[in-house]
């Protein structure tokens, strides 16, 4: 028997194998014609059908008589043995079994007819009485048995009597856990009956033939037919459709053959051709590799024409992202050498870019077009469109801009404002985007209040609300107030606080009232804190990040801070705190679930700096030594003018307190303009955090340095320091860093104060005190502009002229990190005789920057800056009027290779012989 996948309309089902074959013939002959074609067929075809129809009826009758009749089975009512009388249970088991057999394609005697016949012979209790029942009903098989209750379980014990071939009776058994599971038990019993009755129709094996690349198991796993089950043609047809829908085959057929163990079902497939090459032609603006990465058609995969068509759209999407909206893409499928091996070629015509040239609004009366455009992310074509996304039409961004405009209106008091979908029009020059707007009326707040149980807290919060009486209504301020009230109540221990804003509008005078209704629930305390997922990291390392302890009152702010602390550890790929109900209503358990990541690393890197030239470096770092949170690092740095080697160790929690203890041992060589410094030393340091973003540091430094290779014409102050100097000093500092990003911050501040004391009392060859104050702040401006203001001052006091401060400890300004219009060391005091830079004992520095995105997706920023500063010697006055100034611009990129800076500074007041401008360049980091 062979079955192919040919879509046919459904026909009524008829009993009898011969009738089924006959109706299949009728389907093939009469139902595969197009709809309505029977009445429109040619006269010759109608005459042929009149001649063929009687012949087919005779043939069908012959086929039906030649087929083996379907077995007829009678099921007798089951005897019932239960703890409580259940007289209907036996008939129920009979009905369920009879119905299940009929569903398996077996000719089952109706239950009522079998029950009456069994009653007429006095019941069925043994094989002889079953044979008598079978002869009376003209059945080939009879099933009888009992249903027994044992506790809550039910046992179905049955016997199958064969009247056709006279084989010995077969014992059958199934069990149900309860009376509700009786139907499931009868289905199990049915399968046992079918195995014996239809043994020749069982599937002995399922095979696949014709597949070359697709594994047979990958096909079989999708099939409904299973080895050992009854072969059913309707299920075979479903399996053929399933295989065909996998998309890998041109044709699928099924063959059925006999074997001593049963039927062998074989699916014969013909695979689609293989793609041996994918070619991209006509592309200039997008590389082949980017297009091939975006499409699904790949070499050595199955050719699927529908996927190739989808790939055309994927390529067009790539071009649309780059403003090539007139791009055209078509495809060609060729078989140059073998009809089973295809070459797919995508032909591209890029044409010209099309940008947004205008953005208009209809219905805006309260705000100008310019103001509304500033709210949107979509922009019209600008001056810098060649290296930015400005002016590119992106449909998803346009839809987001509808939400941005709506939110803007709602934040300005227009509670009923609506922004419609934008209409995009294209002409030869570009796109025009038009937004329809319905502003509605603008509402002011007549009152804002809090309704809750904690009156004292409510009064405190009332003064902190952003939405105030007399203000225009703002949904943004409303959301902020909701968060502030909810957090305040949660910080008091009410973990399940709900705050619902009730907004009452008065259209007659365009005013509104807002009442924040607070439902605080019960006060919650922390019952237990548990941890899972940490294989290496010790529990105490995680627990000490908690600002909540077992027994403490719940606090949302403390829990948020704990989450931040866990993330800052950087020991885990995932770290989440899951709250759950404690043993009492007012108790909460916290479960910390973490997934560890590697904390050890070996990295190398390099780059170039205008201060130090080419450099390379590397380090070996373990940030979580032995799972205790300790840090160990070995570092090396080799530059054109500098060499540094160091080993450092840090214990961040000494005695399980947030007291950090560590040491550094280093070897540092550096070439200055007129001398070299070669130093070996070490540092012991401790620090402790305070507040949310601050930390104090203390350190002791011991350094043995040698000044060598002093130029013969160097200044006297430099020549006097040639040779070895021992420095023994105590250092202290306080720092606070609240910025939101280490390289590209948009808000926050960086502040520090550092002091150093070097004295012969500590064994030092120098005697001085130095202090440096550094303060900078980032703040967002309009659009995505970010401002940065930095002030930096420092001074050194020499306590003994006989033990001066080392030349390399003095202040040298200039370079990419101070005044960018000058090289490093060019700003500051000079020796009056030689003109050598000798550094200052005091300095002042101001940096002003305006930062803005250039290519936001890549993290490329532009910067415009103004620098002013100078260093002064001990006998010079500190005068701001003597500050050297520079201004310029540049580009910054947090590249995969590390931070990159290219900046050009212009000397605003050059002195004779000075360069008017300087390029400053810095690139590289560790990877």
Tens of pLDDT along 524-569?
999 999 999 999 999 999 999 998 999 999 999 999 989 888 988 8
Angle, helices 89-103/111-120, rounded to nearest 10 degrees: 130
Residue 606 confidence (pLDDT) above 80: no
Q: What share of the chain is helix, strand, coil (3-state, %, to 5)?
A: 25, 40, 35
Contact 145, 117 (CB under 8 A): no
Q: Which of 171-185, 228-242, 715-729 has the highest mean pLDDT?
A: 715-729
Q: What is the mean pLDDT of residues 112-135?
A: 90
Task: Give the bridge partners for 625, in sequence order.
Answer: 630
| Token representation of residue 181 | 């599971």
Cα separation, 831 vs 842, in Å, equals: 16
| Residue 739: predicted pLDDT | 87
| Residue 55: predicted pLDDT | 39
Helix (H) or strand (E) holding 529: strand 525-532
Q: What is the mean pLDDT of residues 261-286?
A: 90
Q: What is the mean pLDDT of residues 259-266?
A: 85
Q: What is the mean pLDDT of residues 771-796?
A: 94
Q: What is the mean pLDDT of residues 93-110?
A: 86
With a CB cutoff of 8 Å and minimum separation 6, the contacts of 479 are none
Q: What is the mean pLDDT of residues 835-849?
A: 94
| Residue 54: predicted pLDDT | 41
Cα separation, 860 vs 214, in Å, equals: 46
Percent of the chain with pLDDT over 90: 52
Q: How confident is the model at residue 13 (pLDDT cuts 50, 70, 90)?
A: very low
Q: Which of 153-157, 438-442, 918-922 has the highest mean pLDDT?
A: 438-442
Please list the alpha-helical segments (H only) found in 430-555: 455-464, 475-491, 539-543
Contact 356, 291 (CB under 8 A): no
pLDDT in tens, 274-329: 899 999 999 998 999 999 999 999 998 888 888 999 999 999 999 988 888 889 99
Q: Is 27 helix (H, G, I), strand (E, B) or coil?
A: helix
pLDDT in tens, 469-488: 999 999 999 999 999 999 99
Look at 104-108, 348-352, 592-596, 819-823 and tell me which has the smallest mean pLDDT. Answer: 104-108
| Residue 14: predicted pLDDT | 36
Residue 914 confidence (pLDDT) above 50: yes
pLDDT in tens, 703-715: 999 999 988 888 8
Cα separation, 809 vs 860, in Å, equals: 35
Look at 53-62, 397-406, 651-660, 774-783 and tell me which has the smallest mean pLDDT. Answer: 53-62
Compute the residue count for the chain. Answer: 927
Q: How confident is the model at residue 1 (pLDDT cuts 50, 70, 90)?
A: very low
Q: Which residue has the higher pLDDT, 613 or 506?
A: 506
| Residue 44: predicted pLDDT | 43
Domains of the chain, CATH where assigned? 2-66 (no CATH), 72-197 (3.40.50.10610), 201-271 (3.10.20.310), 274-349 (3.10.20.310), 360-438 (3.10.20.310), 444-519 (3.10.20.310), 525-596 (3.10.20.310), 601-926 (2.40.160.50)
Cα separation, 144 vs 122, in Å, equals: 13
Q: What is the mean pLDDT of residues 630-658?
A: 90
pLDDT in tens, 733-776: 999 998 877 667 888 999 999 999 999 999 999 999 999 999 99
Look at 79-88, 515-524, 878-887 and tell me which has the smallest mean pLDDT. Answer: 79-88
Look at 8-12, 46-50, 121-125, 173-177 and tell me which has the smallest mean pLDDT. Answer: 8-12
For every residue of 619-673, which 3-state class applies, written as one string?
EEEEEEECCCCEEEEEEEEEECCEEEEEEEEEECCHHHCCCEEEEEEEEEEEECC
Name the DSSP class of 272: P
Which residue in 245, 304, 241 sits closest to 273, CA to CA?
304
Rounded mean pLDDT of the chain? Answer: 85
Name the DSSP class of 710: -
Cα separation, 308 vs 288, in Å, equals: 16
In this prediction the pTM is: 0.55
Strands 79-81 and 748-758: unpaired
Residue with tokens 């050297």: 884
Q: How confident is the model at residue 18 (pLDDT cuts 50, 70, 90)?
A: very low
Q: Is 406 helix (H, G, I), strand (E, B) or coil?
A: helix
Q: What is the mean pLDDT of residues 661-687?
A: 93
Percent of the chain with pLDDT over 70: 89
Look at 115-129, 325-339, 374-388, 585-599 and tell me which has the smallest mean pLDDT. Answer: 374-388
Cα separation, 400 vs 421, in Å, equals: 10
Task: Give the bridge partners for 708, in sequence order.
Answer: 676
Strands 301-302 and 274-281: antiparallel
Which residue in 80, 83, 100 sits closest to 91, CA to CA?
80
Cα separation, 888 vs 892, in Å, equals: 13
| Residue 6: predicted pLDDT | 38
Helix (H) or strand (E) holding 607: strand 600-609
Tell whether the torsion through CA atoms of 40, 43, 44 and 50 is positive or negative: positive
Which residue in 754, 787, 792 sits closest to 775, CA to CA?
792
Angle, helices 89-103/182-197, rounded to nearest 10 degrees: 50
| Residue 383: predicted pLDDT | 56
Residue 921 confidence (pLDDT) above 60: yes
With a CB cutoff of 8 Å and minimum separation 6, the contacts of 904 are 820, 888, 889, 890, 917, 918, 919, 920
């Amino acid at each position: 028997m062979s079955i192919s996948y040919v879509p046919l309309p459904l026909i009524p089902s008829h009993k009898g194998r011969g009738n089924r074959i006959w109706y299949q013939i009728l389907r093939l002959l009469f139902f595969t014609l197009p709809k309505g074609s029977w009445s429109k067929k040619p006269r010759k075809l109608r005459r042929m059908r009149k001649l063929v129809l009687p012949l087919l009826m005779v043939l069908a009758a012959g086929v039906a008589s030649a087929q083996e009749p379907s077995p007829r089975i009678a099921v007798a009512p089951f005897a019932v043995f239960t703890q409580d009388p259940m007289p209907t249970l036996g008939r129920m088991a009979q009905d369920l079994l009879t119905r299940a057999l009929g569903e398996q394609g077996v000719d089952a005697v109706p239950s009522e007819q079998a029950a009456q016949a069994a009653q007429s012979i006095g019941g069925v209790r043994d094989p002889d009485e079953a044979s008598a029942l079978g002869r009376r009903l003209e059945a080939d098989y009879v099933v009888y048995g009992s249903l027994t209750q044992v506790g809550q379980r039910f046992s179905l014990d049955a016997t199958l009597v064969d009247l056709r071939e006279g084989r010995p009776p077969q014992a059958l058994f199934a069990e149900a856990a309860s009376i509700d599971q009786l139907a499931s038990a009868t289905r199990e019993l049915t399968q046992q009956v079918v195995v014996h009755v239809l043994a020749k129709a069982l599937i002995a094996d399922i095979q696949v033939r014709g597949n070359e690349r697709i594994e047979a198991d990958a096909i079989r796993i999708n099939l409904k037919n299973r080895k050992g089950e009854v072969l059913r043609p309707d299920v075979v047809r479903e399996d053929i459709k399933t295989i065909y829908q996998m998309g890998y085959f041109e044709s699928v057929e099924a063959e059925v053959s006999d074997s001593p163990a049963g039927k062998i079902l074989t699916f014969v497939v013909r695979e689609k051709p293989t793609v041996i090459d994918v070619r991209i032609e006509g592309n200039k603006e997008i590389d082949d590799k980017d297009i091939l990465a975006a499409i699904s058609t790949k070499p050595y995969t199955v050719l699927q024409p529908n996927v190739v068509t989808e790939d055309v759209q994927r390529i067009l999407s790539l071009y649309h992202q780059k403003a090539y909206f007139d791009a055209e893409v078509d495809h060609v499928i060729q078989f140059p050498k073998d009809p089973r091996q295809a070459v797919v070629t995508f032909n591209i015509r890029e044409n010209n870019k099309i940008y947004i040239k205008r953005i208009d609004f209809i219905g805006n009366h309260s705000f100008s077009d310019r103001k509304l455009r500033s709210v949107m992310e979509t922009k019209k074509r600008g001056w810098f469109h060649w290296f930015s996304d400005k002016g590119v039409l992106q449909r998803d961004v346009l839809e987001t801009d509808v939400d941005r405009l709506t939110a803007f209106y709602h934040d300005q008091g227009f509670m009923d404002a609506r922004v419609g979908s934008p209409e995009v029009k294209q002409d030869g020059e570009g796109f025009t985007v038009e937004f329809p707007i319905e502003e509605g009326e603008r509402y002011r707040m007549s009152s804002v209040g809090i309704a809750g149980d904690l009156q004292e807290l409510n009064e405190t919060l009332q003064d902190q609300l952003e939405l105030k009486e007399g203000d225009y209504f703002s949904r943004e301020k409303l959301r902020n107030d909701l968060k502030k009230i909810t957090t305040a109540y949660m910080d008091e221990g009410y973990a399940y606080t709900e705050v619902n804003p009730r907004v009452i509008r008065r259209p007659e005078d365009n005013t509104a009232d807002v009442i924040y209704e607070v439902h605080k629930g019960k006060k919650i305390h922390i019952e237990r804190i548990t941890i899972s997922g940490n294989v290496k990291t010790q529990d105490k390392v995680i627990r000490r990040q908690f600002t909540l302890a077992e027994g403490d009152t719940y606090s949302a702010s403390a829990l948020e801070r704990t989450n931040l602390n866990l993330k800052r550890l950087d020991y885990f790929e995932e770290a989440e705190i899951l709250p759950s109900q404690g043993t009492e209503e007012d108790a909460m358990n916290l479960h910390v679930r973490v997934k560890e990541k590697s904390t050890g690393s070996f990295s190398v890197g390099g780059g170039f700096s205008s201060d130090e030239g080419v450099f390379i470096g590397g380090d070996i770092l373990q940030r979580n030594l032995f799972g205790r949170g300790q840090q160990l690092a070995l570092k090396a740095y080799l530059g054109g003018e500098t060499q540094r080697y160091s080993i450092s160790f840090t214990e961040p929690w000494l005695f399980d307190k947030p007291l950090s203890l560590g040491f550094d041992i280093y070897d540092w060589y550096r070439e200055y303009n007129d001398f070299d410094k070669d130093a070996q030393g070490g540092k012991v340091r401790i620090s402790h955090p305070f507040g949310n973003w601050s930390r104090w540091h203390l350190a002791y430094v011991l350094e043995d340095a040698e000044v060598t290779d002093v130029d013969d014409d160097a200044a006297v102050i430099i020549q006097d320091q040639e040779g070895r100097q021992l420095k023994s000093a105590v250092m202290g500092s306080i720092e606070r860093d609240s910025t939101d990003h280490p390289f590209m911050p948009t808000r926050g501040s960086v502040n520090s104060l550092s002091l150093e004391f070097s004295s012969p009392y500590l064994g030092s060859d120098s005697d001085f005190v130095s202090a440096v104050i550094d303060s900078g702040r980032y703040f967002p401006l309009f659009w995505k502009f970010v401002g940065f203001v930095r002030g930096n001052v420092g001074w050194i006091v020499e306590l003994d002229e006989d033990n001066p401060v080392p030349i390399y400890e003095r202040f040298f300004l200039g370079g990419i990190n101070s005044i960018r219009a000058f090289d490093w060391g060019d700003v500051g005091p000079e020796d009056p005789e030689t003109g050598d830079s000798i550094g200052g004992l005091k300095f002042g520095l101001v940096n002003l920057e305006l930062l803005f995105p250039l290519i936001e997706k890549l993290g490329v920023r532009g910067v415009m800056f103004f620098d002013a500063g100078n260093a002064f010697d001990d006998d010079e006055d500190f005068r701001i009027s003597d500050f050297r100034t520079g201004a310029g611009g540049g580009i910054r990129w947090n590249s995969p290779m590390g931070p990159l800076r290219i900046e050009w500074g212009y000397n605003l007041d050059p002195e004779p012989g000075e360069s008017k401008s300087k390029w400053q360049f810095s690139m590289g980091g560790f990877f």
